[in-house]
Amino acid sequence: MKLFSIIAIAAACSAFLACSIPTDVNICQVSYNGNGRSGGTVPTDPVEYTSSQIISILDNSGHLECPEYSFGGWNTSSDGSGTSYQPGDTLETALDDITLFAVWLPASLIISEVGDPLQSEGRFIELYNSTSASVNLSTYVLRLYINGSTEPSSSFTLPDINLPSGVTFVIARDSTFSGVYPEPEYKIPDIFSTITESNGDDAYELYDGSKTVDLYGVKGEDGTGKVWEFTDRVVQRNLSVILGTDQLDISEWIKGPEDSDLPASPGSRFSN
């Protein structure tokens, strides 16, 4: 082969390779913003991504906190109007950098366990702070609706204490409670109140002075024979539930066997 032919072929190959190999690859990064957080650190993702890559959303590993709010995931907009993501969700990168803002949900309590066990001395209600911040209990009222009443039959204002994140608060009828659920296996009740005097067909409402924060049962409905009745048994909230509701969703609850004191876990959220 003549020399000029070899040179021509080499030049053609070089031109082809120059056209085939991208010289300007678009790089984007994913960053996280605490969005008003008062404590903790935002997660960092140091990876430089090309477009159309599938990435996994990071969790709140730095324990971000915001007073009176609970971490609720991430959103592409600081006001929550964009696309929402939970830790572990996937996202496809685009041409531009992506910023994910922390979502803050109003902090509140939930009703996590209600007991009308076979031994009535063991009646109790367990509340749980599922948020990432301390909650002052004094702004909450526990209401009992007896025999299908649409108005509270009795109310109990919770004491002026700060309940830390991830901690339970147990209300029992009186000191005879420990005869049914003794220490050290079970928590000493935090307070005694007759608000626990339900016979298992009455509704409980957690109220914050302006709205229903959480509910077990149905206000205005006698629970006898209903799916939510808890006569002579204990009902426990699924561990996956962290937000209250103003409408009962029975799928969020596990009902223990009838005519039994167990399974029950007042104070330990939960061990059945």
Those residues whose C-beta lies under 8 Å from the C-beta of residue 229, and which sit 6 or more positions away, are 200, 201, 223
pLDDT at 21: 46
Question: Cis omega (within 30 of 0) on the bond before 263?
Answer: yes
Segment 184-200 mean pLDDT: 91
Name the DSSP letter for residue 196: G
- Give per-residue burial for 173-209: e unless 16+ CB within 10 Å, then b: beeebeebbeeeebbebbeebebbebbbbbbbbbbee
Q: Count Cα neighbours of 211 within 13 Å in the Cβ-side half-sphere.
A: 8
pLDDT at 107: 64
**Cα gap 204→202, rounded to integer Å:** 7
- Domains of the chain with CATH codes: 30-106 (no CATH), 110-255 (2.60.40.1260)
pLDDT tens digits along 124-148: 999 999 887 788 999 999 999 999 9
pLDDT tens digits along 148-166: 999 999 999 999 999 998 8
Q: Which residue has the higher pLDDT, 15 or 143?
A: 143
Going by C-alpha positions, the residue among 58, 52, 63 that lies closest to residue 94 is: 52
**What is the average pLDDT value for the chain, to the nearest integer?**
87
The confidence band for 185, taking pLDDT boundaries of 50, 70 and 90, is: confident
pTM for this predicted structure: 0.66
Distance of CA 183 to the CA centre of its chain: 29
Given the structure tokens 């902090």, which residue do they identify?
A: 107
